[in-house]
Amino acid sequence: MENYTDEEFMVSECIKCKKINWPSLKFCKNCLSSNTLRKGNNIGRIIEYSKNDQGYFGIVEFEGQIRLICYFNQINNPKINQEVILQKIKKNKSNYSFEVSQHY
């Protein structure tokens, strides 16, 4: 059995210009000032999706610019632009797994 740990959704944001830098960086891509880590907004929207034997998955956008490939949990009829909530982030070594569910 693989050893997964739960993770928090953190984003790096410039302390000067407030731009989000993804993936997380020490210095801002825009103005080269230092970045700080903050808890990310876990509400996203479905950009596109598909289905395989294990269920639905797709690209979900967070913070208006961060796009992650996520597994859909208990979303039986996903729609483009549907709001979802990031429920789980799992990490195994350098691999991440993201799971979203319907946002009410």
Distance CA 47, CA 67 (A): 9
Q: Is the pTM of this model over 0.95?
A: no
In tens, the pLDDT along 32-78 reads: 999 999 999 999 999 999 999 999 999 999 999 999 999 999 999 99
Distance CA 67, CA 40 (A): 13
Distances (CA, A) of 40 to 2, 10, 57: 27, 5, 21
99 near 67, Cβ under 8 Å?
Answer: no
Q: Which two tokens stand for residue 48?
A: 């596109």
What would the DSSP string read from start to end of 70-98?
EEEES-SS--TT-EEEEEEEEEETTEEEE
